[in-house]
Each structure stands twice: as C-alpha cells, then as structure tokens.
Amino acid sequence: GGNNAGHTVVVDGKEYDFHLFPSGIINPKAISFIGNGVVIHLPGLFEEAEKNEKKGLKDWEKRLIISDRAHIVFDFHQAVDGLQEVQRQAQEGKNIGTTKKGIGPTYSSKAARTGLRICDLLSDFDEFSSRFKNLAQQYKSMFPTLEIDIEGQLKKLKGYAEKIRPMVRDGVYFMYEALHGSPKKILVEGANAALLDIDFGTYPFVTSSNCTVGGVCTGLGVPPQHVGDVYGVVKAYTTRVGIGAFPTEQINEIGELLQSRGHEWGVTTGRKRRCGWLDLVILKYAHMINGFTALALTKLDILDVLDEIKIGVAYKLGGKRIPYFPANQEILQKVEVEYETMPGWKTDTTGARKWEDLPPKAQNYIRCVENHVGVPVKWVGVGKSRESMIQLF
C-alpha cells in the first residue's frame, strides 16, 4: 500500500499517526525499512515527517531506509484517482471509496510497466524526466480535464531526490543481510486488512496491493522459509470502511454505539467506519490465507456496556451452511448469518492488565473466538495505550 492506510500509535501518552512510516520509527533502537511493495508519495512522506517531528519524533532520517525498487506515486496519480472515483459514481452509481491518494493508479502504472521507481529518480535525471513526461502524457490523453504542471513537478522531484538519497538502499540486499547477519528481531507491518487484499479481499471494494502474508515475500524480497510467526490483529467486533458487502453489519443503535465508543473513523480520511458483530467466518477465511500462529484481539473494552453480545459463526445460503467465504459480492449480500449469543460482562475492563483481571464473561468471549477459529489469542487490548495490551502467554 502507500499513505492510504493509517496506523495510530500511542506511546507515553503521545498519539502518532503513521501512513508511510513504519510504526517502529518511534523506537530509537529500531531500523525502519520501507519495502519495494510500497508505493511512495514523496511529498506525503515529508509532510508526515513534519507532523510527527512536532510531536517529538527525532532523527527519523537516520533510522529510515527506503527500497530503491519501490514505485513512486506522482501528484497526477492522485488527481487521476479522484477523477476515476467521480467517473465510477457517474457511470455505475457507486464508487470504490478509495482514499484518493493515488494508490490504484500507481499500481496500475506498475502493472502496465510504465511506472517509475525510486532507483529511476536517483539515476539519470534526464532519462527519468522523459519517462515522467510520457507517463503524464498518457494520463492527459485518457483524462482530457487533467492538468499537470510537468516542469514544476519535475523540479520538486529533483529536490526530493536529494533529500532521500542518503536513505535509499538496494532493498533486496538489505533484507538478505538482515536475515543472514547477526541475529535480530524482524517485525513486518502490513497496511490495510486481509479483506482488502487485491486477490483475496471483497473485490472490487479492495485496495490495490497484497496486504495478506504473501506481501511479506513479494513486498520485501524475504523468502517464505524465513517467515516465522504470523499474528492476526482483529477487533472484538467487525468494522468496514467504504462500500461493499458486510453480513454482520448493525445499522441500528448497536452499530452506532460501537462506532461512537470505538471512535470508528479512519485515520487517513476521517470517514466513519461501518460497525457490526464479530464475524468469525471472515476471521476463519483470513486464517485460511495467512495461517495465523496467534491473534491479538483488540478493543475488547468497547463491548463493556452491552447486555448481550453476538458472534457471527456461520453463513447460510438458501438455508444451508456454507464452509467457504463467497467471492462474489452479490452472493455475499444474500448470505444469512448464524449467530451465537453470549451475555455481556457489563464491567469496565480498561484497567485490566492481566488475564485474571478480566471478568469471567469476557474470558468466555475470548475463549469462544479461540475455539471457533482454532488459533490462540496471545494479546487482548482494552485501551489505546501500550500498557492496555494484556499478554496471555
């Protein structure tokens, strides 16, 4: 992905919003690496740096490494993203609900083999300029209303090239050395969610990249044998941003309660997220693709006030249970959800710091998730701060 996804990280009472920066950038002992699978909007990167410097982020440029094989998001990609959404709305009466950050058009350029990468920007600038002009021309012919200040953009890009040059490395060699050098912990962070994956998500209401575990190999150049534990991060209820089928959605006071208590609006766009009961069909499907070794169940505290809590355990089509997650959106709209209902715990869990601190009914809820999915829950989140993460084993 790119700066379409956002991660909010709270450390020592400070709240950071990260889009292109890996979340580990806060840790002065960690090296942060942006891989080849990421698409990078350079103005966005420096804007993000500036915002977080104001919050106390220091020396990030000494800890950040950027792969020279990463594709570049240009301003015209972002303009085209907006125009395409307007077109979809006009032609089909619905759009995808993209973040208009130019992500789709950049991956389109990549797949069409007309994209430009960080290595091109840092090599022969004349060659880069002529390829940039060709790409800009292609888009202008497709979108006659598109205006591109070619010379102005090239001038800015030349400036960015010098700013990022010290951070850029051959990403494949960098990862190879990281894996084979002195032993170290390597944590890979994906953008977006499994159900937004271009191959496995609720197509066409998805992002343009692989945000499932396969992205570790293709997005960084890490051979599969090096992938160790795979952690699934899942809320204690289900949310979705933008349109697309959502079988357990609650368009009622339950949905509104989850939305307001959970502060469910996107960190990139500020859009409200749709909310519903935890959908274990989706979670099992994500597990089929990713092979989770453990789960982090977050936002348990949002459910603290509910009298009863439902969990979606199966989908039915024509009254029959189906064992798979349907690919087709129209079929997905038609499924009937089978629920299990559990009593709520009606207790404030935000102060819990260990398993024993959780009310028995909350413990039962967590065990129910584990049993259905067949994956242990290793962490339970009961608040925003790092201290609010209960580690179970």
Using one digit for the tens of pLDDT, what is the confidence trace for 187-208? 999 888 999 999 999 999 999 9
What pLDDT was estimated at residue 3? 87
Judged against a pLDDT cut of 90, whether residue 15 lies above it is answered with: no
Q: Which residues on adjacent β-strands are paired with residue 169? A: 67
Number of domains present in the structure of the chain = 2
Angle at CA of residue 348, ends 345 and 349, nearest 5°: 85
What pLDDT was estimated at residue 8? 82
Last residue of a domain, one of 187, 218, 239: 187
Considering the entire predicted model, what is its pTM?
Answer: 0.91
The CA-based dihedral angle spanning residues 140, 142, 146, 147, taken in that order and rounded to the nearest 10 degrees: 0
Do 263 and 174 have their domain in common? Answer: no
CA pseudo-torsion sign 178, 179, 182, 187: positive
CATH code for the domain of 70 = 1.10.300.10
Lowest mean pLDDT among 266-280, 283-297, 349-363, 369-383: 266-280
CB 65 within 8 A of CB 34: yes
Do 180 and 239 have their domain in common? Answer: no
Do 128 and 251 have their domain in common? Answer: no
Burial of 361 (0-12, 13-18, 19+ CB in 10 A): middle
Question: Which amino acid is it at 371?
Answer: N
Helix (H) or strand (E) holding 257: helix 253-261
Last residue of a domain, one of 187, 210, 245: 187
195, part of any domain? no
Last residue of a domain, one of 155, 187, 219: 187
CA distances to 83, 271, 379 from 98, rounded to whole Å, are 11, 11, 31
Cis peptide before 360 (omega within 30 of 0): no
Do 233 and 361 have their domain in common? Answer: yes
272, part of any domain? yes
**What is d(CA 101, CA 97) in angstroms, rounded to the nearest whole number?**
11
What pLDDT was estimated at residue 260? 96
CB 38 within 8 A of CB 220: no
Do 162 and 237 have their domain in common? Answer: no
Angle at CA of residue 18, ends 14 and 19, nearest 5°: 165
* Section 56-63 average pLDDT: 94
Do 168 and 252 have their domain in common? Answer: no
Residue length, the chain?
Answer: 393
* Section 25-50 average pLDDT: 96
CB 349 within 8 A of CB 359: yes
Do 257 and 325 have their domain in common? Answer: yes
Do 281 and 143 have their domain in common? Answer: no
237, part of any domain? yes
Do 158 and 277 have their domain in common? Answer: no
What residues are annotated to the active site? 110
Q: Residues 256-280, buried b or exposed e (16+ Cβ, 10 A)?
A: ebbbebbebebebbeeebbbbbbbb
CATH code for the domain of 315 = 3.90.170.10
Judged against a pLDDT cut of 90, whether residue 86 lies above it is answered with: no
214, part of any domain? no
Q: Which value, in Å, is the radius of gyration of the alpha carbons in the chain?
A: 22
**What is d(CA 274, CA 112) in angstroms, rounded to the nearest whole number?**
34
Angle at CA of residue 321, ends 237 and 303, nearest 5°: 15
220, part of any domain? no
Tell me the average pLDDT of the chain. 94
Do 176 and 258 have their domain in common? Answer: no
What pLDDT was estimated at residue 103? 93
Q: Which residues on adjacent β-strands are paired with residue 389? A: 381
154, part of any domain? yes
State which residues form the domain around 347. Answer: 229-391
238: its two tokens = 């289900």
Do 32 and 176 have their domain in common? Answer: yes
What pLDDT was estimated at residue 241? 83
60, part of any domain? yes
88, part of any domain? yes
Do 14 and 103 have their domain in common? Answer: yes
